[in-house]
Structure 1
Amino acid sequence: MSLHRHNPVELSPPAGFSHAVTATGSRLVFLAGQTSLDGEGKVAGSTLPEQFELALGNLLTALAAAGGTPHDLARVTVYATDVADYRVHAPELGRIWRRLAGRDYPAMAVIGVVRLWDEECLVEVDGTAVLP
């Protein structure tokens, strides 16, 4: 399995994402949206960075259960209830990402949403990984 990240010089330099990712491998893993629910199903964390760390951690836990690592992530979508707040916290969220998932960035998008399933949730993360 291999992922190749493509960041053409003709496009704006990416910060915390790759413009395109090509993947070869034998297994696709589709990761359900994860929020900051704890092991008991209760929303944990009151700030966007706290909730982002928990949501990303939950996503990586699901990925590990499927036999993958953060390096295997080809695509991640972040759903935020307040994109302006997400932009304000972007440097901190980037540090959280690098600490938990490293610097091999997947293709990513941040999408503003009115609300998430659990009203107290500020962010949800889903993704696709390619495993050998």
Structure 2
Amino acid sequence: MNDRINPPELGKPSGFCHAVAVDPAACERIVFLAGQTALDQDNKIAGDGVVEQFEQALGNLLTALRAAGGQPQDLVSVTIYIVDMDDYKANARKIGAVWRELAGTEYPAMAGIGVTRLWDAEALVEVQAFAAIPKKTS
């Protein structure tokens, strides 16, 4: 249903996909997922570093996606807002491992954007996404 597109004319992507095409006729619904930080159930930021906070934020996003009837492979676009880009890049391998553990190896179209701060001053990362949930086949 979701066609990952990586043209040979563009550099080989690592940890993202250049484009994702969705057949609207094959979709049950499109889900717009709010930005998620590392807030825990007590509305406190969990995790001291960017890797731990990314894991919590991505987990929160995937929890919302599952509640909407979707799965990680339904993600078609993800934006990651990053307070300290150098720290994020220095931990890119660990963050990639967290992504693969929680969301798998099919990457959506992605963007990483450096910001000066997020809504919660303690938050180091926020993850926002769109998903296309396929129609159930019987």
User: TM-score, length-normalised on structure 2?
Assistant: 0.94
Partner of 1:65: 67
Letter in 2 for 1:58: N
**What pairs up with 1:1-132 in 2 under 5 angstroms?**
2-24=1-23, 25-132=27-134
The amino acid that maps onto 1:119 is A
Structure exhibiting the larger radius of gyration computed from Cα positions: 2
Q: Quick one: distance in 1 between partners of 2:69 and 2:101?
A: 20
Question: 5+ unaligned residues in a row in structure 2: which ranges?
Answer: none
Q: Percent identity?
A: 58
Question: What amino acid maps onto 1:71 in structure 2?
Answer: Q
Helix, strand or coil: the match of 2:123?
coil
Secondary structure of residue in 1 paired with 2:60: helix
Instruction: Give the letter for the 2:120 counterpart.
Output: D
Q: Which TM-score applies when normalising by structure 1?
A: 0.98
Superposition misfits of 4+ residues, deviation over 2 angstroms: none
Whole-angstrom distance in 1 between the partners of 2:22 and 2:93 = 28
Q: Which runs of 5+ in 1 are unaligned?
A: none
What is the one-letter code of the residue matched to 2:63? T
What's the Cα RMSD here? 0.6
The Cα shift of 1:26 comes to 3.4
Structure 1 residue 40: deviation in Å?
A: 1.1
Counterparts of 2:116 and 2:50, CA distance in 1: 15
